[in-house]
Structure 1
Amino acid sequence: MTALIKPLPFGNPTGLAPLDFALVNDWQRGFPLVSRPYLELARRLGTAETEVIERLQALAAAGTISRIGAVFRPHTLGWSTLAAVSAPENRIEAMAQIINGYTEVNHNYEREHAFNLWFVATAPSHERVAQVLAEIGRAAESPVLDLPMREDFHIDLGFDLRADAKQASRPHHDPTRRQMESAAPPRLERADHALAAALEGGITLSPRPYAVLAARLGTGEDAILARLARLLKLGVIRRFGVVVRHRELGYAANAMVVWDVPDDEVSAVGRLLARQQAVTLCYRRPRQLPDWRYNLFSMVHGQDRQAVLTEVACMRQALNLEHFACQPLFSRRRFKQCGARYSGLATAGLAQAA
């Protein structure tokens, strides 16, 4: 079969072959909700279903992709928070392993700051998250920063891997979806929670992955496809597709850039930052005085440290943000990165988290 993959209109900084790049870059959202999704990808890319599955298997084995599955809107399933502790240099690795031991923790990074271990915890309830943080704080002998999301300025539609793709990148600002997500999270059914739990590791790399998922849940393939479509329409699932690992794709540097913005201006500044190509996440989170002064968090990735610093400096100047204190917290080591675990939610049967 003749390949239909076109030459890339922008640079490919990843070094991936054209088919691999197309699979990784173009299918981070809008993944086919049909009985044989890999056959549909093959049809669109001008190759064979077996080739698509084999390439995705190779990308997963190499760590380039984490999974193919759902990215859920924060606080629609259980409760989650960003947290941090301060670990002495000689205890960082040991403390990281303690944190990693909690199934509630799905991300754990060492960053350049006195609070040097940053992790995300997700659980069926706020009470369980608080219990996990308290236990980690006792083990670390450190105060714990508990920084739940208060306002989300960036709709996660994936990470465009093309170099200099500013003119063709996916939009960061989606007024329709923003309006939908400003409403209270919808009430979910127990079957929705069960589906989220079954999707923790993503769908299988097999010809009929939704049928495999349906068999696990004791339902039909059509019912699974309909439920996924419903959750996407409600905005509970923000995107469904390939979830990439940035470092393995050549983006060796990332910084969580934190800003100290007056509370009455933070929403406007957050919306402004979220429209920037370099920003991949942007949230308002609470201050925790006197330990933590910052209330706006933005994530910036780059191929090296200087590229990230240059992007931050350009944004500060172009957006007239130089009068706001900001600090880039570069990632030093990644101790854990996986999808959030929703298994407890299926049994808890929660409608939503506050």
Structure 2
Amino acid sequence: MNQRNETLDFRLLNEFQRDFPLISAPYGLLAQQLEVDELEVLEALRRLHEEGAISRVGAVFSPRRIGASVLAALAVPAEQLDAIADEVSAHAEVNHNYEREHDWNLWFVATAPSQPHLDRLMEHIASESACPLIRLPLLEEFHIDLGFDLSSHARRRTAKVMTRPAELPESAWQLEADEQRLMAVLQNGLPLELHPYALLAERAALDEARVLQLLESWLARGLVKRFGVIVRHHELGWTANAMCVWDVSDAQVSAIGERLARQAGVTLCYRRARDLPTWRYNLYCMIHGRERTKVEARVAEINRDLGLHAYPHEVLFSLRRYKQRGARYVDLGGVACV
């Protein structure tokens, strides 16, 4: 690949992860900003998608604003891990599924249309796998998926650290029929065609103006956290990925979580419910790196700088990725994707 293409690829990956244009021909606007042809932009994005560097161009929906979700883990015998991971990944509600270094070795995220639906899924997975299961629902988000700076691997400093309380009701957002149809066709991403919103509108039985209006409303009201290029860190060289967990007193966890979210290198940060007596930890962050030793050094620095070494903590590195895709909320019929 020549230097021109490498530069174009990097800028597409790094500069358009959020605030994607909500206009009829968004790729044309990207082309103007990049000083290239519109078809060149589309060709590059299609290639990056085929190569796995991006999962899609589209929306990242906010946790707990629609449906219900949970981080869960199984303690799986090593000889059964691949088979049980495949069983877990086969569920449409499961969007992320990883092996991590720990006795609790299979970690997955599941999203469902309602809490009762999610509870039934968890019971089914526990029964199907015949393995111990812990459930760790989100309570507060301090920093979740606000973009990933590939040049310096530091969170974009223009992103505002937000805290969302545990009391946010499950029914905070009730989707209208046209919203359900749009969400269904958007879940796989924005079409890589000249007029993508018109194509979404056709598939959702809407007009283009309504599609753009709904997307603007979703962003303004927080249903969508960001809209843009969704990169895949592992394929881009960030293969040393660690989930760091601490047991912090409930009285202190919110203040510490906000400070942790602002640390360089922290790509995700949130508070989750404990699952006692089995799992004591309530504060989490993710650190993505190219080298394990550098990630370990960064964790040590954060523990020192924030005084977190005083709290029980563990670092769980990812070993294998069994499944990674965007959450599914509805199908093309506008009903639960199950």
Range of TM-score over shorter length: over 0.9
Contact 2:182 2:201 in 1 (8 A): no
Does the CA-based 8 Å contact 1:84-1:117 persist in structure 2?
yes
Matches within 5 A, 1:130-279: 130-163=119-152, 169-174=156-161, 185-279=172-266
The alignment's TM-score, normalised by the length of structure 1, stands at 0.89
Aligned partner (choices 317, 320, 341) of residue 328 of structure 2: 341
Deviation at 1:179, TM superposition (A): 8.0
Q: Structure 1 CA distance, aligned partners of 2:332 and 2:157? A: 32
Separation in 2 of the partners of 1:346 and 1:304?
44
- Unaligned 5+ segments in structure 1 are 6-15, 350-354
2:270 to 255, 258, 283: 283
Mark the CA change 1:181 to 1:171 in structure 2 (over 3 Å): closer, same or farther: farther
Let me know the Cα RMSD of the aligned residues. Answer: 2.2
- Residue 302 of structure 1 corresponds to 289
Pairing 1:39–2:28 present: yes
SS in 1 for 2:285: strand
Query: Structure 1 residue 135: deviation in Å?
Result: 1.2
Deviates more, 1:286-295 or 1:178-187: 178-187
* Contact 1:180-1:235 within 8 A present in 2 as well: no
User: C-alpha distance in 1, partners of 2:333/2:301?
Assistant: 45
Say if 1:172 and 1:274, in contact at 8 Å, map to a contact too. no
1: distance between equivalents of 2:192 and 2:96?
24
> Partner residue of 1:19?
8
Change in CA separation of 1:269 and 1:172 when aligned onto 2, cut-off 3 Å = farther
Check whether the contact 1:173–1:275 (CA below 8 A) recurs between aligned residues.
no
Please give the alpha-carbon distance, in whole angstroms, between the structure 1 residues aligned to 2:282 and 2:82.
28
| 8 Å contact from structure 1 (residues 66, 245) kept in 2 | yes
After superposition, the Cα gap between the structure-2 partners of 1:222 and 1:150, relative to the gap in structure 1 and judged at 3 Å, is same
Question: 1:347/1:219 Cα in 2 relative to 1: closer, same or farther (>3 Å)?
Answer: closer
Q: Deviations over 1:127-149 (max 9, x none)?
A: 11111111111122122111110
Most deviating of 65-74 and 148-157: 148-157
Choose from 60, 73, 76 the match for 1:84: 73
The structural deviation recorded for 1:306 is 0.9
- 1:28–1:241: 8 Å Cα contact kept in structure 2? yes
Which segment drifts farther, 142-151 or 46-55? 142-151
Deviates more, 1:55-64 or 1:137-146: 137-146
Cα offset for 1:199? 1.1
Give the drift of 1:346.
6.7
1:154 alignment partner, SS class? strand
- Quote the offset at 1:180 in angstroms: 11
Q: Quick one: distance in 1 between partners of 2:166 and 2:90?
A: 33
- Asked if the contact 1:69/1:199 (under 8 Å) is kept, the reply is yes
Match of 2:43 in 1: 54
With over 3 angstroms needed to count, the CA separation of the structure-2 counterparts of 1:345 and 1:86, relative to structure 1, is farther
Hey, what does 1:64 align to over in structure 2?
A: 53
- Offset of residue 194 of structure 1: 2.4
Instruction: Count matched residues.
Output: 332
Shift of the 213–181 alpha-carbon distance from structure 1 to 2, 3 Å rule, reads farther
Give the distance between the partners of 1:180 and 1:212, measured in 2 at CA. 37
Q: Is the 1:41–1:52 Cα contact (8 Å) retained in structure 2?
A: yes
Alpha-carbon distance in structure 2 between the residues aligned to 1:130 and 1:252: 32
Which among 82, 87, 92 is matched to residue 98 of structure 1? 87
Aligned to 1:9: none
Q: TM-score, normalised by structure 2?
A: 0.93
1:152–1:283: 8 Å Cα contact kept in structure 2? yes
